[in-house]
Amino acid sequence: MYNLFIFFLIFLFSLSIQAKEKLVIYTYDSFISEWGPGPHIKQTFEERNDVEIEFFGSESAATLLAKLLLEGKSTKADIVLGLDMNLMQDAIDSKLFEKHSIENIYKHLDIPINWENDFFVPYNYGYFAFVYNNKKIKKTPKSMAELINDSNLTLVIQDPRTSTPGLGLLTWIKSLYKNDAQKNWKKLNNKVVAVTKGWTDSYYNIFLSGEADMVLSYTTSPAAHIMYENNYDYSALIFDEGNYLSIEYSGILKNSQNKILANKFLEYTLSRDFQSVIPKTNIMYPVIKIENLPKAYEKIIKPKKTIQLNPSLIKDEKNKWINEWLNAS
């Protein structure tokens, strides 16, 4: 009888474990790395809601979307977190996402543009820029035009087919030079010593090792060196024409079996707890007003001019622009 009772307790315990809801989130690798925001967000949301979060990482937003499109309606993801504005129309046209339930989302946000999208919820933003060592390089170009035409500095950039900053540079060049984009790519490519698949390889393995003078990154990247290394040697170029804006967001999949919980997570991404870890761990700006950003951000200059192309135009023309870039090499 005692053994039967013990078995019954074990059975009930196993049922309680099985009953715990699980949220599957696709994102990019750096978000869920040990130094990224993922571990804190996972622990906090799980504890507050008595649920389990399972993260799956991809190298970049581009590979993240490619994975999702390949899986289609059979995807196991409840949420995708980490796409950016340049991929928004591709994501919408996939018809894999459904509208979130957050009402009057614009009232929550403090970002450089008006957010008029019912499918996705932004969680951080930043600006693409070229980062350099200010101890080694004293004279820097003040504009993209000066970088392309008058500078001898060497660059490492990322492939627009596989990298978020890489696609950002592609759309940045196109927005500035339109029909003359390929001609200016040819000039810029003469300064490029390497094109990497992802940001990590270009920044850590090539730029920081001294193989290139500048790396395509974000205006906020120097803040990481200040916060974690007490190193003020790195700066980002703010161009006269403006720097290209990147807003990252999350969305819920139509086939999710946990839509109530998924919407709760999207609401959490706009909370002070979630947003306060973004500047420290994702090295980007929060999308709500946060008092007392890390002191390192006092050294970061925000561009006065913001550049961004319409996502539907990018979706329609992206392959053509990539071919322009490839043919200019």
The tokens for 93 are 């046209």
Which stretches of the chain drop beneath a pLDDT of 50? 15
The tokens for 281 are 């761990």
pLDDT at 297: 98
Collapsing DSSP states into helix, strand and coil, what is residue 20? coil
CA distance 182 to 249: 30
pLDDT at 32: 97
Amino acid sitting at position 317: E
CA distance 250 to 84: 9
The tokens for 272 are 């002070």
CA distance 62 to 144: 25
Spatial contact of 265 and 100, defined as CB atoms under 8 Å apart: no
Question: Which of the 8 DSSP states describes residue 129?
Answer: E
Q: What share of the chain is helix, strand, coil (3-state, %, to 5)?
A: 45, 20, 35
CA distance 143 to 164: 21
Q: Under 8 Å CB-to-CB from 200, ≥6 apart: which residues?
A: 30
CA distance 158 to 200: 10
CA distance 148 to 237: 13
CA distance 127 to 242: 9
pLDDT at 15: 46
pLDDT at 7: 59
Collapsing DSSP states into helix, strand and coil, what is residue 195? strand
Residue with tokens 């622990």: 43
| Domains, the chain, ordered by start | 2-125+247-298 (3.40.190.10), 126-245+302-327 (3.40.190.10)
**β-pairing verdict for 120-133 and 234-236:** antiparallel
Residue with tokens 């980490």: 82
Beta bridge partners of 53: 23
Q: Under 8 Å CB-to-CB from 322, ≥6 apart: which residues?
A: 160, 161, 170
Conformation bin of residue 238: beta by default, left when phi > 0, alpha when psi is -120 to 50:
beta
User: pTM, whole model, 2 decimals?
Assistant: 0.92
The tokens for 293 are 């950003």
CA distance 276 to 269: 10
How many Cα atoms sit within 13 Å of 12 on the Cβ side? 6
Cα angle, residue 319 at apex, residues 318 and 322 outer, rounded to 5° = 85
Helix axes 272-281, 38-49, angle to 10 degrees: 160
Residue with tokens 């999308």: 287
CA distance 211 to 157: 12
